[in-house]
Amino acid sequence: MKSSAFQYELPEDLSSALKLLNSNDLDILPLAGGQSLMPMMNFRVAQPDILIDLNKIDSLKNITIEGDYVRIGSMVRYCELEQSEIIQKHFPLIIHVIPYIAHSAIRNRGTLGGSVSLADPAAEMPSVLITLNASIELSSSNSTRSVNAEDFFKGIFETVRKSNELVTSINIPVSSMPKKFGFYEVTRRHGDYAIAGAVVTSDNGQDNFNDTRVVLFAVSTKPMRVPKSEAALNGNNFNNQDSINEAIDAVTGNSFERDLHNDETTKETLAKVSLKRAIGGLNG
């Protein structure tokens, strides 16, 4: 299908884009990489009155080190993230996960800020950002605020972003790159939407899990942090099967969401499989 008619705006700087967002009575959507929004428009799930194309705003396209954190502009594309020496040096977890995001042609356009703003429950990056203790910067015409990634995602395609705000950057403390990380996702084909997935990080590279984070994705309405699994692993050896089994068992009892093909029980099972394999694949 083709999208419905809309008015197209192409602001050249951030303040013009934010001004355009201020109208109250029209359905206004910002267009980042368009790799999810364009399909939604072609399906007419999204029918904006005004489309604000952010692709000319150069100030949103930089990756910089600012003191003790790395600032990633929201319009940085996945292909640029992957090539960035700063990201390669500081966040090997991000580099490791990028090839799992769709396909090359999609990553050549898709942006980190777009993925974060859309909050697709099957997306990898929201969960990765939670394990990295990232914060999301939101700007409107009159204010800027920063929200911790864990508090940013609210539900299916739902975040704390207000309609007059734009995600302007994703900020990650350099110190929060974990010493060890594991990632696994279940998909129908490589790069397809995840059916279930898990990210596991530990701050200790030596022998034992420490400051562990366990985040599951594609199994609920938003990224699911599992404190009980984290607690089961913390302080125990990376190879301690009892604590690993305990962490996997602790996935039970969380609230899972079905999708078109997989019911809640399947989701729970696949979440456990993902977690087990993510732990089994710990590197670093």
- Residues interacting with other proteins, by CB under 8 A? 1-8, 10, 34-35, 38-39, 42-43, 51, 53, 55, 79, 99, 102-106, 108-109, 189-192
Strand-pairing partners, residue 77, are 111
CB of 18 to other proteins, least distance (A): 21
Which residue's CB is nearer to other proteins, number 57 or number 177? 57
Count how many residues are written for the chain. Answer: 284
Report d(CA 170, CA 32) in Å as an integer. 14
Which residue's CB is nearer to other proteins, number 191 or number 284? 191
Report d(CA 252, CA 229) in Å as an integer. 10
Report d(CA 217, CA 244) in Å as an integer. 19
CB of 39 to other proteins, least distance (A): 4
CB of 156 to other proteins, least distance (A): 18
Which residue's CB is nearer to other proteins, number 194 or number 279? 194
Which residue's CB is nearer to other proteins, number 70 or number 186? 186
CB of 267 to other proteins, least distance (A): 22
Count other C-beta atoms under 10 Å from residue 100's C-beta: 16
Which residue's CB is nearer to other proteins, number 50 or number 86? 50
CB of 46 to other proteins, least distance (A): 12
Which residue's CB is nearer to other proteins, number 193 or number 269? 193
| Residue 162 structure tokens | 């207000």
Alpha helices in the chain (DSSP H): 14-20, 37-42, 78-83, 85-90, 92-97, 104-107, 112-118, 125-131, 149-152, 227-233, 241-249, 264-280
The contacts of residue 5 (CB under 8 Å, 6+ apart) are none
CB of 115 to other proteins, least distance (A): 14
Cα angle vertex 28, ends 26, 31, to 5°?
165
Say if CB 16 and CB 22 are below 8 A apart: no
DSSP H or E run through 179: none
CB of 5 to other proteins, least distance (A): 6
Which residue's CB is nearer to other proteins, number 4 or number 163? 4
Which residue's CB is nearer to other proteins, number 38 or number 147? 38
Report d(CA 106, CA 101) in Å as an integer. 8
Strand-pairing partners, residue 105, are none
| Residue 4 structure tokens | 């419905």
CB of 41 to other proteins, least distance (A): 8
Q: Alpha carbon 209 to chain centroid distance?
A: 24
